[in-house]
Structure 1
Amino acid sequence: MASEHVTKLAVLIDADNAQPTIAEPLLAEVAKYGTAHVKRAYGDWTSNHLKGWKEQLLTQSIQPIQQFGYTSGKNATDSAMIIDAMDLLYSGRFNGFCIVSSDSDFTRLAARIRESGLIVYGFGERKTPDPFVAACDKFIYTDILIAKPDEEQPLKPRTAAQLKQDSSLVNLLRNAVDAASDDDGWATLSGVGSIVTKQRPNFDARSYGYNKLSELITATTLFEMDRRSPGEGRPKVIYVRNKSKKATARD
């Protein structure tokens, strides 16, 4: 019996530019997209600046890659990470890369990997420059991944009224549904999600306080949702339609 296809990922972490607290939730997020066959963190491990990472390296089985800062003001870590990424790319053993950094220096690397037909997941802080975000197939902000039990949750679910006032969100969702829809205006949720991510790589329902795209779309109250069974024993497929299309479909 043929084995199920597994997406093989290389996870490359710019430890100089990422907090050690993200390690566990980061790898949990990566597991949603594939299997991390390589996990490497780059930095000068002789520096006290990275001492918080050392426990995470052991716990999460992340390989530390030592890179001394040869010259003041020059980031040798970035160069080492880019060289390794290209070596891994040319090995032909991976389906995608996870680049963990908020540094715009990795913009060209992400674009180059995508040119080779591989998927790129970016992870970084909100300060990440737009060019790097746009160069990735999908970009996840790390603050979404870090739980803060001792603080008030910063991302409470937005109400329907608040969501409707966000014209950028509403237009993004409506246009995606229209683009993925059939003649009756119905579109699969997966199709909608794919278009949304292509248009806005940093889109994440969790930024609006919802764990899933389906929950966010439902919360807007602007769309119809329908769960259909494609066949016996198969999971139901969620379909979405703009409510404004309902009257049109009846005409």
Structure 2
Amino acid sequence: MDNRVALMIDAENVGYKYIDHIIKEISKYGKLVIARFYGDINRLADEWKKKALDYAIKPMHQFNVASGKNSADMEMALDTIEIKYQDKADIFFIVSSDSDFTPLAIRLKEAGAIVIGIGEEKKVTNAFKSACSEFKYFEYFEDEIEEVKVTNKYESLRITIENIILENGTDNKLQLSRLGDILVNQFSDFDPRKYGSSNLTSLVTKLGFNTSTENTTTFVKYENSLTLEQVKKYIVEFLGNSKKGNIGKLKNSMDKEFENFNVKNFGFSKFSALLKNLGYEVNEQTFSVKVKKWKK
């Protein structure tokens, strides 16, 4: 049975651009049953409100009634404790970099809850991080999801399933039931029948994944024949005599050359991270061969 997740967001401390990543992360832990964001709604960007509406995150409006005090933080803490003691959630996502939530995280853990903190690496204190069961940084969420322009809904689903297996499975293999749980948690309207399949097994098979049964448990596996040596060789050939290349053009070229190319097969969340690991210098849009500096 899925864990029940409560999402509590300090909206005045969090940018709307991270919400997609947070929702995706929650889908790995359980079913989102409570989602709220706190702050002076009148001061938030319209984009923030739209993103909250897309994910049905309930606004909890609070005026700052006293100078130097944040009543929204106090309301968020009180509501979170109430949710816990009414036994409405098992896991709490506390989204803020504010160290004032340290006592809240401690109290939740003492009461037996799992507390996942999310904030900015440079702002969050060691005390707040230590008070949480786990802590995640916004900065690394940005690296996690690469922009993939896909218009075919089957191809989009295949990429989604591939990433779920690589992120949550072992040896590119994941329990079929676990895959189904994550898909439903991530997309509330997910149904194999939308894709012309009667069940999840037939759908993943149609999309090119292999399934196997071990001790009555069905697994789905993503097969990848591309090796890191092949990737290295292709990049060298792509550069030719040049010492510098465009990252986007290289990625597009590799997508065409290698069917279903995915950097997560090699343990990386972003293409630029793979290039860095292979010894290239990486800027925003370009990569280059490192030049050895000889000592005089």
Residue 40, structure 1, aligned to residue 47, structure 2: no
**Superposition map of 1:32-71 within 5 A:** 32-47=28-43, 49-71=44-66
Residue 102, structure 1, aligned to residue 101, structure 2: no
1:84 matched to which residue of 2? 79
| Separation of aligned partners in 1, 2:51 and 2:142 | 15
Give the TM-score of the pair, scaled to structure 1: 0.58
2:128 matched to which residue of 1? 132
1:194 matched to which residue of 2? none
Give the TM-score of the pair, scaled to structure 2: 0.49
Residue 17, structure 1, aligned to residue 13, structure 2: yes
Residue 75, structure 1, aligned to residue 70, structure 2: yes
CA deviation map 1:107-161 (0-9, x unaligned): 00000000011110111111211110110001111121125869xxxxxxxxxxx
Deviation at 1:51, TM superposition (A): 3.1
CA deviation map 1:37-62 (0-9, x unaligned): 00000010112x44331111111111
2:2 matched to which residue of 1? 6
| Separation of aligned partners in 2, 1:144 and 1:211 | 14
Q: SS of the counterpart of 1:92?
A: coil
Which stretch of the first structure deviates more once superposed, 11-20 or 69-78?
69-78
- Which sections of structure 2, spanning at least 5 residues, go unmatched? 148-165, 172-213, 221-296
Deviation at 1:93, TM superposition (A): 2.0
Report the number of matched residues.
159
| Separation of aligned partners in 2, 1:98 and 1:104 | 15
Residue 27, structure 1, aligned to residue 23, structure 2: yes
- Which sections of structure 1, spanning at least 5 residues, go unmatched? 151-209, 216-230, 237-251
| Separation of aligned partners in 1, 2:109 and 2:128 | 13
Identity of aligned residues (%): 34
Q: SS of the counterpart of 2:112?
A: coil
Deviation at 1:6, TM superposition (A): 1.5
Kept in 2, the 8 Å contact 1:16–1:50? The answer is no
Q: Which has the larger Rg?
A: 2
Change (3 A) 1:133 1:214: farther
